[in-house]
Amino acid sequence: MTEERPPISWDALAAELAATREAAEARGGPDPGTWDAVAAELAARVAERPAAAPDDVAPVAEPAPLPAPVVQAPEPEPEPAPEPEWEDVDPVALRGGLEALLFVSDTPVDDVSLADTLRCPVPRVRAELAALAADYDGRAAGLTLRRVGEGWRLYTREAYAGVIERHLLEGQRSRLTQAALETLAVIAYRQPVTRARVAAIRGVGVDGVMRTLIGRGLVQEVGSDPDSGGGLYATTPLFLERLGLAGLDELPELGPLLPEAGTVLDHPDA
């Protein structure tokens, strides 16, 4: 183990060198051998100790700490849209509502529209539609429920086509009712026209009458209304043939056929 020596005192060393110089001068001048001995001793002392850092060297400053990274707060997620408030529809009321909506619809109705109208979840409506179709098929009902494209629609069952045909053929030999004639006149003068528009003009429902006119071949569906999506109806060539007309332009003018304004105002229903 190396013995630690006390640090060199530069002031004591300088005093020792000065005393040595005075003693040499007193003897008549510096002795070169004496100075060599002093230099050797000084070199030995310096070599035994580590070099000290100069006083004029400034300590190396520690590097400044890096700034903390800026962490951006995450953007708040958008709040989910509120779930629609569904009504607790009774199963019997749900089936009845589905049948009523499908019966009055001229075109297939998608299950989402049915669910919105009935205030009922879409999965429940889909399940009830499937159950309703299975019930019709299970008891061989006169109606069948089919999925057409993206919607559902009621049709008559093919097994009863003969019954329907006999009914329509026998109906063609009978005279049209007053309601049927009025409906046919509205269609003839306003065609193409939707069933809802005909009902609005007459003020009563026309579903049954429309089926009669279509069955007799006097009225046919010619397209769909771009605004409402309902079917557009017009007269057929058979209609012109039965009336003995070459075209719709030969229909009589409505002006002479309309009642007087006073007569309308005096009517109790006016």
Same domain, 154 and 184: no
**Full domain range(s) for residue 156:** 91-160
Q: 79-120, pLDDT tens digit by residue?
A: 665 555 666 778 899 999 999 999 988 888 999 999 999 999
In a domain, 75, yes or no: no
Which band of pLDDT confidence, cut at 50, 70 and 90, is reported for residue 265? Answer: very low
At 247 the pLDDT is 87
Same domain, 258 and 193: yes
Same domain, 156 and 204: no
Same domain, 207 and 247: yes
Q: 127-142, pLDDT tens digit by residue?
A: 999 999 999 999 999 9
User: Mean pLDDT over residues 195-219, rounded?
Assistant: 90
In a domain, 78, yes or no: no
In a domain, 111, yes or no: yes
- Check pLDDT > 70 for residue 3: no
At 76 the pLDDT is 74
Structure tokens at 222: 């010619």
Distance CA 223, CA 191 (A): 11
In a domain, 215, yes or no: yes
- Check pLDDT > 60 for residue 126: yes
User: Mean pLDDT over residues 52-70, rounded?
Assistant: 59
In a domain, 101, yes or no: yes
Same domain, 143 and 179: no
Same domain, 180 and 156: no
At 254 the pLDDT is 72
Residues 6+ positions from 109 with CB-CB distance below 8 Å: 101, 102, 151, 152, 153
- Check pLDDT > 60 for residue 71: yes
What domain count does the chain have? 2
Boundary residue ending a domain (160, 195, 214): 160
User: Mean pLDDT over residues 227-231, rounded?
Assistant: 86
Same domain, 246 and 191: yes
Same domain, 215 and 244: yes
Boundary residue ending a domain (105, 127, 160): 160
* Average per-residue pLDDT for the chain: 78
In a domain, 156, yes or no: yes
The fraction of the chain above a pLDDT of 90, given in percent, is 32
Runs of H (alpha helix) within the chain = 10-26, 32-47, 91-104, 111-118, 122-138, 161-172, 178-190, 195-202, 207-215, 237-243, 261-266
Distance CA 188, CA 181 (A): 10
Residue 221, domain CATH = 1.10.10.10
Query: Is the entire prediction scored with pTM above 0.75?
Result: no
Boundary residue ending a domain (99, 132, 160): 160
Stretch among 38-52, 64-78, 83-97, 161-175 having the lowest mean pLDDT: 38-52
At 25 the pLDDT is 64
At 62 the pLDDT is 65
In a domain, 120, yes or no: yes
In a domain, 183, yes or no: yes
133 vs 7, 98, 100, 113, 117, CA distance in Å?
Answer: 109, 11, 14, 18, 20
- Check pLDDT > 60 for residue 200: yes
Letter for the amino acid at 68?
A: A
Same domain, 183 and 257: yes
- Check pLDDT > 50 for residue 6: yes
| Phi, psi at 117, each rounded to 5° | -70, -40
At 141 the pLDDT is 92
Distance CA 137, CA 158 (A): 12
165 vs 106, 141, 195, 237, CA distance in Å?
Answer: 21, 17, 23, 21
